[in-house]
Amino acid sequence: MKHADVAVVGAGIVGLACALSAARRGHSVVLFERGTRAEGASIRNFGMVWPVGQAPGKVHERALRSREVWLEVAPQAGIWCESVGSLHLAYHADEWAVLQEFDGFAGDLGYDVDLVDAAAVASRSGAVRAEGLLGGMWSPTELCVDPREAIARLPLWLAEEHGVTLRFATHVREIDDHHVETASERWRADRIMICSGADFHTLFPEIYADSGLTRCKLQMMRTRPQPGSWRLGPHLAGGLTLRHYAAFEPCQSLLALRQRVSEQTPEFDRWGIHVMASQTGIGEITIGDSHEYGDDIIPFDRREIDDLILHYLRGFLVAPDLEILERWHGVYAKHPQAADFVADVSPGVKIVNGVGGAGMTTSFGLAEEVLDNWA
């Protein structure tokens, strides 16, 4: 029987982060992924590392720690990673009010943000529509990676640099005490970390049934590479995004914004839409997204959702070519009240999951915390 100090199930960002953190502690690591490559949420996202949206305190600190790890690891692993920052844009008085209120306490909570007028927004990004713009909020902490590239390269680098043993196209069908069972091998591991994303059915379904975790489906789109050397600059977020991230929850002024959206454009609430844009290193603009929660996820995408997202996007983004070349959806696991779900299955086995819409932003930090606290 083969042996590793740590076995990790799932090569999405959570599993990769766990493998890295374990390997950096000098443990031998084996990483199992059932696909020939990771195919879950981690290759389907914007590639935004987004500390500015995370809840103040522990989760925001976790995001800033993950940011440091990205900046350290990406050049070593040959992953494109740019420190682009972000702009939240306000076209309505209620959006501007939320940004002003947030700006009033953000510094005390460790966020590094600046309120900027329309002219300063224009100096940061030539892609922002000027008509009707009241101003924006600049944050320097956001990074951009191309998730397809990053999630493909990280395991190869983990194998080369840290000696991690890779088992792709290897479905883990059972974990029993300290043993990992696949169709062709049985491994013994001192510690087993289950990072299986939105699959709640294969391993320990009874724990998932009681976990409070739910699944969330998001629709996404991508343009072709923009012509010439046109760049978006920072990640862009429209006013609907203020309804979405935990960082803004303490703002009393959010109530008025939420009320206007629910009265005037209930379709955005219905599909959980807020609109953001990022740009890959080769110039494609990634656009999203919607949020449909629950276990009953249909495999088909809704044209109506894409149309709503694109219509809203055109309200704040001016780009040379917004023709959509790719459409897809992703599904992640989310806990309604928590930023993660870490559960002990048995003394040597943990589930590490539930990072919701922030796995690219928080996983490296979370993995370190889990291993630090594992007695």
Q: Footprint of ligand FAD on this chain (CB under 6 A)?
A: 9-15, 32-35, 38-42, 44-48, 50, 171-172, 195-199, 202-203, 218, 220, 288-289, 330, 332, 353, 355-361
Q: Using an 8 Å Cβ cutoff, are 146 and 280 in contact?
A: yes
Q: Report DSSP state, residue 336.
A: S
Q: Is the Cβ of residue 94 or residue 289 nearer to ligand FAD in the bound state?
A: 289
The helix or strand, by DSSP H or E, that contains position 49, with its residue range, turns out to be strand 48-49
**Rounded CA separation 249/251 (Å):** 5
**Rounded CA separation 351/192 (Å):** 8
Q: Is the Cβ of residue 211 or residue 361 nearer to ligand FAD in the bound state?
A: 361
Pairing, β 29-32 against β 48-49: unpaired
Q: Using an 8 Å Cβ cutoff, are 40 and 330 in contact?
A: yes
DSSP, collapsed to helix, strand or coil, labels residue 148 as helix
Q: Is the peptide bond before 289 cis (omega within 30 degrees of 0)?
A: yes
**Rounded CA separation 136/147 (Å):** 27
Neighbours of 108 (CB within 10 A): 8
Q: Is the Cβ of residue 147 or residue 239 nearer to ligand FAD in the bound state?
A: 147
Q: Is the Cβ of residue 223 or residue 361 nearer to ligand FAD in the bound state?
A: 361
Q: Is the Cβ of residue 312 or residue 332 nearer to ligand FAD in the bound state?
A: 332
Q: How would you label 67-99 residue by residue, b for 16+ Cβ within 10 Å and e otherwise?
A: bebbeebbeebebbbbebbbbbbbbeebbbbbb
- Taking the complex as a whole, the smallest distance from the CB of residue 151 to ligand FAD amounts, in Å, to 7
Q: Using an 8 Å Cβ cutoff, are 327 and 213 in contact?
A: no
- Taking the complex as a whole, the smallest distance from the CB of residue 298 to ligand FAD amounts, in Å, to 15
Question: Which is nearest to 116 in space by CA: 85, 90, 142?
Answer: 90
**Rounded CA separation 364/166 (Å):** 19
- Taking the complex as a whole, the smallest distance from the CB of residue 42 to ligand FAD amounts, in Å, to 3
Q: Is the Cβ of residue 15 or residue 135 nearer to ligand FAD in the bound state?
A: 15
Q: Is the Cβ of residue 47 or residue 365 nearer to ligand FAD in the bound state?
A: 47
Question: Which is nearest to 336 in space by CA: 368, 294, 285, 367?
Answer: 294
**Rounded CA separation 288/360 (Å):** 16
- Taking the complex as a whole, the smallest distance from the CB of residue 263 to ligand FAD amounts, in Å, to 28
**Rounded CA separation 52/354 (Å):** 19
- Taking the complex as a whole, the smallest distance from the CB of residue 192 to ligand FAD amounts, in Å, to 12
Q: Is the Cβ of residue 127 or residue 133 nearer to ligand FAD in the bound state?
A: 127
Q: Is the Cβ of residue 239 or residue 288 nearer to ligand FAD in the bound state?
A: 288
**Rounded CA separation 342/369 (Å):** 11
- Taking the complex as a whole, the smallest distance from the CB of residue 217 to ligand FAD amounts, in Å, to 8
Q: Is the Cβ of residue 9 or residue 247 nearer to ligand FAD in the bound state?
A: 9
- Taking the complex as a whole, the smallest distance from the CB of residue 134 to ligand FAD amounts, in Å, to 25
